Amino acid sequence: MEQCLRVNNITKKFGGMLALKDVSFQTETGEILGLIGPNGAGKTTLFNIISGVLRQTEGEILFHGKSVSHMAPHKICKLGIARTFQIVKPFYSMTLRDNVAVGVMAVGHSKNKALEKADEVLSFLGLDQKSDKFPGELTLAEKKRLELSRALATDPKLLILDEVMAGLNTREMLDFTEIIKTIRQRDITIIMVEHVMQAILTLCHRVVVLNFGEILAIGTPEEVINDPKVIEAYLGDGYNAQN
Ligand SMILES: Nc1ncnc2c1ncn2[C@@H]1O[C@H](COP(=O)(O)OP(=O)(O)OP(=O)(O)O)[C@@H](O)[C@H]1O
Ligand SMILES: [Mg+2]
């Protein structure tokens, strides 16, 4: 399989604090890769580095063989990497349609093209009835869909999802699981951070486990949930996948 993203020996220091230490893994094109680990493990920090929001202290990120390590976020997005934010941050003074369109314009498309794309993606995510509303009028689940719309509208090859299911109820989570499956069928590679293990088990081909900024395990979902190291550091005793 073709390699999509390669994370090479990434280290990130915040002052004296080592948030990531020599992290390396890769994703294959078309796979859904899970990234899990306890709070503060460095998951969001890694996403911030991949998307160019933060600079690594050491190491390199390669996207289809090309280094993106020193590129600005909009350039990385233009190359085909889009991400959602753990804390959703839409523009509250703009309609949903405009919220999605500005992201498309930021990667170089015309306003007309951006609005067309916004309508298409909002419809795909079931928000077409709300496209003239403002983000403040949305439920949390709808805000998460808006966040995903903004990322998808840039036509990514790699989509990075930071806890899109956090705070959702079971029904909303199942809906989101189906959405992610459909996105993957469009040949978009996905890396997802999620604490909802059921979603990780259902969706992911492989899982990377981070703990205190270091890789603790990499394997199939089955392998990592049965790994004593992962149970001890993250899942807890008595964990089983049916919970
Ligand atoms: N901009 C920053 N400046 C200083 N320290 C930071 C910064 N961003 C993150 N950190 C620290 O780096 C560590 C990793 O944080 P990060 O947000 O990446 O964890 P996480 O795995 O995403 O956790 P969670 O599951 O709670 O979202 C934490 O100790 C955090 O306090
Ligand atoms: Mg995080």
pLDDT of res. 180: 97
Amino acid at 155: D
Q: What is the CA radius of gyration of the chain?
A: 18
Residue of the CA atom closest to atom 27 of ligand 1: 39
Q: Which ligand is nearest to the CA of 36?
A: 1
Residues 6+ apart with CB under 8 A from 5: 26, 27, 50, 61, 62, 63, 81, 158, 189, 191
Residue of the CA atom closest to atom 28 of ligand 1: 40
124-179 per-position pLDDT tens digit:
999 999 999 999 999 999 999 999 999 999 999 999 999 999 999 999 999 999 99
State the DSSP string of 92-118: TTS-HHHHHHHHHHHTT--HHHHHHHH
Rounded to the nearest angstrom, the distance between the alpha carbon of 99 and the centre of ligand 2 is 23
pLDDT of res. 240: 52
CA distance 3 to 243: 34
User: For the chain, what percentages of helix, strand and coil (3-state, to nearest 5) are there?
Assistant: 40, 25, 35
Confirm or reject: Cβ of 21 under 6 Å from ligand 1. no
**CA angle (186 as vertex; 185, 187 as ends), nearest 5:** 90
55-87 per-position pLDDT tens digit:
999 999 999 999 999 999 999 999 999 999 998
Among residues 142, 177, 182, 183, the alpha carbon closest in space to that of 159 is found at 183
> Within a 10 A sphere around the Cβ of 187, how many other Cβ atoms?
9
Confirm or reject: Cβ of 19 under 6 Å from ligand 1. yes
Average pLDDT over the chain, rounded to whole? 95
Q: Which domains does the chain have, with CATH numbers?
A: 1-80+159-243 (3.40.50.300), 90-155 (no CATH)
